[in-house]
Structure 1
Amino acid sequence: MLWHAIAPSRRYTKASHDVVRHPRLNSDAKILLLYVQGLPEQEVEKALSDHAKSLGISGRAYQRAKKQLIASGFVHEWKRQGRRGYWVTDQLFANISLTEEQAKAVRNDRVGDVVRSAVDPGAQEPTVGRPRGRETGGYEPVEEELGKNYSHPPSELAEVVESERVLLSLRHAHPQLHLGVREARGLAEAAAEWIRRGVSTADLRRALTSELPREGVRSAVGFLRHRLVPKLPAPPAAPAVAPVSPPSARELITCEAEGAVEEHVFRPFGDETVCGPCYREERAAALARWTEEARNQPPAPTWRERVAALADGTASPA
């Protein structure tokens, strides 16, 4: 159950401006907050998640927006158990930030009788009948919306949601462009195509609100559809790719390897002057020469022999 705690009209206007400039609320939280503030009384009994669904805010985006609203003091929740043992979640939605004590005072003032009538479940009479095991299955939490399958990939879905927000915000630029949620959702796909073609949200809003007819707008939906569909900008041209010319082949040079059997040429990759086969032969010959020299060297004296030589004075400390 969702209750409102709305300030008077003058404070309501100031609170709306504070919401728009709030540094710790993302765009989803701000839109949800402003949307619920303007609901009529007969709509306030719905859960906050239902209002978020009507705006296209669901899943993790809704959980993130709700968490920010609770942390900023705009939304407060309490769970209680009624007379029949069912758990009920009470939600208080305010257009100004309230502390926990202030929110409890508003709740007690609005629904004090309901809250005080809740009976401790341990004090109730036992249920008639034998105890049964816990029934599971067939229930999914309302607010913990699991993943849904959308017809659009995530990137296109984000563009549709962003364009819907732009369409809903047109009412603030001109009253004649006031759209309902369903009307904005019906035009969101056409507006999203503008964003896919490189138009920013600010330029999209400017294109929809500039140069309105002098006689006024009779139908906001028809006028905006006429702006969106026939005047859709052309897709951006693909950047021209310069042709890549293949690297030019280097000239043949004579191999300068020592001891070559006969003169031959090769095509170098860099500044080398010896071809690959000759270079490998030179390295192999040098390695064999170093190995032979190391084999012919006398064995190095052991540390005991070095100590004895120093003691006899027949060897220098170096």
Structure 2
Amino acid sequence: MPPHAQSRVGANKHPNRRRPDTGGGLVHDNSRHTARFTVIGNHLAQHPELSGLAIGLAVYIQSLPSGARVDIKTLTVRFPEGATRIAAALRELEAHGYLRRERTRVSGGRIVTRTVSCNQPGNQHSDQPKPLSAGRLSPVSPAASALGRRPPRPLPAVPHPAHPAPALLQTATDLLIGLRRLDPRLLLSARDTGHLANGVAAWLERDVSVSAVRQALTSDLPSEGLRRPAALLAHRLAAQLPPPPAFRSAGPPPDVRHPLRNCDGCDRAFRAPAPGRCRGCRPDRSEAA
């Protein structure tokens, strides 16, 4: 059994303090927790790809009791970050396996959606209720578990459109489905297509044409060793995301074209907003002459 962390001894003694021999740097002043604490793995606390907000939300969610609400609205009330940033952080955690959503049938025949917090992505416990749909992460089958296979690694996070209209997402999905015609290795699963469609939609929303997005995803693909094409596409969608289109100021208003009217003085046709006299028959012109 590994030794327990020692508690602080004495008023001014810190047995767990680690002082560097020379120079500055971090010094730990630790004392043992005996209540109200949560164990967090360094794989989360020091994750090289997650943002600070995503790591903070994951720590907060793991500290909550079962049944607590962790929807975007509730988290927005709890934290100062807005709904957009919190939603993006939750997508990061979902993409890296720290969160997953499951539709589960409960007593009475109702179907509810549960958010599952994973303190070690990839290790799903068998005592979890069997989901109707595993969301973005597929559960590990017993046969695969018996063979020692690991669940598929989550894809890198992709950008999301500000206004995910159904027509925009459908265009993005059609683009991804058609990639296999250009390269058979780009045959994507339904799960991967659903994940990548948001990234493609974010490009299309920035006035990038379908052909330009297709070129960015398929150009200069490695000739060998393309093991995870969906992960490569996700990386390109995030790393090469173009900036938003430049702001275009409104142009001058179009010239107003009035209808033709007959002059009350000479009966000639002229354009004016209301009936009257043409320029040559106006009193002010004759007085000026």
TM-score (norm 2): 0.31
Greater C-alpha radius of gyration = 1
Which structure features the higher share of helix residues?
1
TM-score (norm 1): 0.28
The structure with higher relative contact order (CA 8 Å, sep 6+) is 1
